[in-house]
Structure 1
Amino acid sequence: MKFLKLAFTAAILLFSAQAMATGFYFEPAVFYESGAGKVDVDDSDATTKGMGLDLKLGMHFVEHMLFVGLDGSYSKPKFKHDNTGYEADATSSTYGAIIGVQTPLVGLRFWAGYVFGGTLDPEESGLFDVKFDEAKGPKVGLGIKIFFIAVNFEYMDLKYSKGTGNWGSIPSLDDFGNKVSMISVSVPFMF
């Protein structure tokens, strides 16, 4: 029910915004991520590091200065857990929404948003095979656009509320937190 209310509200906002929009916004990006995580159940540390792709789609307003849209990312980081030595290649994805500003000052840009869902799925390694689902959390970004290329820094504070798999003697993997920093190069198109 909560999801339906959120989807309905988002649809109304997007249709209202479309009436005032001046164009379409599309921004593909390549990024490098570095995450520092915490497994709450045993207070242990984990890291994620690797390359990925990001895509932002939406509308822009007020002479290309304001943009609002959907944001999705896909990456292939290396997952490492300190206490157990679990190390494996992983697949990660997130989706959410953003709102941002492109200033006329030297191409300075900034945005804020929220991740509504996502997954971190490390491959099996030894006795361990886990998957973290239902990621949620804030996402912020800062960048500079030079001609048609932008260099950006983004930060996500994710909390995965559902964990499944084999983690030795640990009974639950729920509530894995991962603070992810991302450096990206993107090409923002505003039509």
Structure 2
Amino acid sequence: MKLSRSLLLAIACSTWLSSTALAVSSGGLFVEPMITYENGDTETNFPAPFSNSTGKVEGFGIGARLGVHILESFFIAADGRYSMPNFKDSSIDYKARATQYNLAPVLGVQMPGIGVRIWGAYVATGELNPEANGNNVDVKYTDATGYRVGAGFRVAMVSINAEYQELKYGKATVEDGGGILFPPGTTFDDVKLENKSWLVSVSFPLEL
């Protein structure tokens, strides 16, 4: 059994190395910086007896992909996003600027002849960190997971893209309770923020 597992591991490693070599020889490495705009609706789910709240996330950001394309028809990459959107939530009329990031592996197909690209990504981690609002309440949302799907049209070195994503933040941390709620550092695993967003972007795929 131990020998079989070692053999399977060796085969898997060999296959991965062969695929990487094929990617480089038949395609190549690429980097793709981008400028993004997000418009999303949020819902914060609180445990009973508290009611859920709704809100918005909207604003510009930047991002980049780094990966390989294979036979000019497929691409695999790491996708990172960073933005500074406006955050609104109906609970205590929360309105503030925020910082946001997420990281995701992405797999896509592309048709160079007509410039069409389609992809899907699994968001493995992320954070949404609004600043304190007028009541000095400051809450940070972490442990984001979810998915993002998109399509784009590429002409030369420019791609115009549209994406849809659904993210769920699994943890909320009170950074400032405004003196009336919870002490700073209080963390809730049962407060979940869901973000459903549309994104448009302009990106610049560059072969390395």
1:75 paired residue number = 83
Structure 2 residue 33 is the aligned partner of structure 1 residue 28: yes
- d(CA) in 2 for partners of 1:144, 1:43: 39
Identity level (%): 35
The structure number with the bigger radius of gyration is 2
- d(CA) in 1 for partners of 2:78, 2:99: 20
Normalization by structure 1: what TM-score?
0.87
Q: CA deviation at 1:169?
A: 5.1
- d(CA) in 1 for partners of 2:125, 2:16: 19
1:4 paired residue number = none
The number of aligned residues is: 181
DSSP-derived class of the 1:158 partner:
strand
- d(CA) in 2 for partners of 1:105, 1:88: 45
Q: CA deviation at 1:158?
A: 0.3
Structure 2 stretches lacking a partner, 5+ long: 1-11
Q: CA deviation at 1:25?
A: 1.7
Structure 1 stretches lacking a partner, 5+ long: 1-10
Confirm or deny: 8 A CA contact 1:108 1:145 kept in the other structure: yes
Normalization by structure 2: what TM-score?
0.80
Q: CA deviation at 1:154?
A: 1.3
Q: List structure 1 segments (4+ residues) > 2 angstroms apart after TM superposition.
A: 11-17, 166-174
2:172 to 163, 168, 171: 163
Q: CA deviation at 1:181?
A: 1.3
Confirm or deny: 8 A CA contact 1:137 1:159 kept in the other structure: yes
Q: Deviations over 1:46-65 (max 9, x none)?
A: 11101100101001101x21
Aligned-partner residue type, residue 38 of structure 1: E
1:129 to 138, 143, 150: 138
Confirm or deny: 8 A CA contact 1:60 1:190 kept in the other structure: no
Q: CA deviation at 1:16?
A: 4.8
Structure 2 residue 100 is the aligned partner of structure 1 residue 92: yes
DSSP-derived class of the 2:124 partner:
strand
1:141 paired residue number = 150
Q: CA deviation at 1:105?
A: 4.5
2:198 paired residue number = 181
2:159 to 141, 150, 156: 150
